[in-house]
């Protein structure tokens, strides 16, 4: 019995070691210890993350960290994920700035933009404007006057992210003050994704050729509104 137990322990230990050394799939679903589920997509040079309860896709920028780890930041420099050398994940959030461990929950589909017709884009624009208006409690007009054929998916994504930003602004302690600063959001083509606030208009530049990375994140839009006038 003693020899069998030793052999069993050895085999189980070896299997556990093999599991730890196996690399995670390039696209996978994870769940934090607080129950937040998200998809982490490393199938392309630009890592992406999407929470199951959100429409926004986060574009992450990797950088080396201590002990061989990799730290992934968003476009305002805030840490979003930390991946250890052995593949362990830590998710950072406003509720858990120190990080919460996340476990692999299975494979997932690659994060892609959906194809969209010009008519469908118009519907997305109205939906996003309605969501922003409802959050701000006053009319927020969305306008995209220079959308070129084929760029519809990128602009639809930018609409959704901008609406998400207005929702985030409205939930801040100073949200009432900030949402009064603007009544229009305009989306224009540009070399890179940016957001500015001037004279009551939030201007968002979109580069459709860069995919999700071609527009600012909701956090960056919130930052622009908070710093602008």
Q: What is the DSSP string of 34-71?
A: T--EEEEE-SSSS-EEEETT-S-EEE-EEEE-GGG-EE
Instruction: Give me the pLDDT at residue 16, please.
Output: 42
> Strand (E) positions, the chain?
27-32, 37-41, 48-51, 57-59, 61-64, 70-73, 79-83, 89-91, 100-107, 141-143, 184-189, 194-198, 201-206
Instruction: Give me the pLDDT at residue 159, please.
Output: 98
Nearest residue to 100 (alpha-carbon basis) of 195, 187, 30, 12: 30
Instruction: Give me the pLDDT at residue 115, please.
Output: 93
Can you give the pLDDT of all 229 residues of the chain as single tens digits? 444 455 444 434 444 444 455 678 999 999 999 899 999 999 999 999 999 989 899 999 999 999 999 999 999 999 999 999 888 999 998 778 889 999 999 999 999 999 999 999 999 999 999 999 999 999 999 999 999 999 999 999 999 999 999 999 999 999 999 999 999 999 999 999 999 999 999 999 999 999 999 999 999 999 999 998 6
Instruction: Give me the pLDDT at residue 14, please.
Output: 46
Strands 201-206 and 184-189: parallel
Q: What predicted TM-score, i.e. pTM, was given to this entire model? A: 0.86
Instruction: Give me the pLDDT at residue 4, please.
Output: 47
Instruction: Give me the pLDDT at residue 21, please.
Output: 56
> Maximum distance among all alpha carbons in the chain?
81
Instruction: Give me the pLDDT at residue 96, please.
Output: 83
CA-CA distance, 211 to 228, in Å (whole number)?
A: 26
**CB-CB contact of 63 with 141 (8 Å):** no
Q: Is residue 46 packed enough to be buried (19+ CB in 10 Å), middle (13-18) or exposed (0-12)?
A: middle
Residue with tokens 């469908």, as numbered in its chain: 120
CA-CA distance, 108 to 76, in Å (whole number)?
A: 27
CB-side exposure of 113: number of CA atoms within 13 Å? 23
Nearest residue to 126 (alpha-carbon basis) of 151, 153, 152, 163: 163
Alpha-helix runs per DSSP H in 93-150: 118-136
């Amino acid at each position: 019995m003693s020899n069998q137990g030793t052999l069993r322990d050895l085999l189980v230990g070896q299997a556990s070691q093999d599991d730890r050394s196996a690399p995670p799939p390039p696209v996978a679903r994870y769940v934090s210890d607080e129950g937040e589920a998200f998809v982490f997509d490393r199938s392309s040079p630009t890592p992406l993350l999407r929470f199951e309860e959100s429409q926004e896709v986060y574009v992450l920028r990797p950088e080396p960290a201590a002990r061989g780890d990799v730290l992934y930041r968003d476009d305002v420099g805030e840490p979003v994920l930390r991946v250890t050398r052995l593949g362990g994940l830590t998710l950072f959030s406003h509720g858990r700035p120190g990080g919460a461990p996340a476990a692999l929950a299975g494979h997932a589909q690659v994060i892609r933009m959906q194809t969209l017709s010009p008519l469908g884009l118009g519907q997305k624009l109205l939906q996003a404007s309605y969501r922003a208006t409802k959050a701000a409690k006053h009319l927020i007009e969305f306008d995209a006057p220079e959308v070129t054929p084929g760029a519809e998916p990128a602009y639809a994504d930018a609409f959704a992210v901008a609406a998400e930003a207005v929702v985030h602004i409205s939930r801040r302690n100073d949200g009432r003050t900030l949402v009064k600063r603007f009544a229009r959001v305009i989306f224009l083509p540009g070399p890179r994704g940016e957001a500015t606030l001037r004279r009551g208009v939030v201007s968002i530049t979109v580069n459709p050729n860069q995919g999700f990375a071609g527009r600012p994140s909701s956090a960056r839009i919130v930052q622009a509104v908070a710093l602008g006038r």
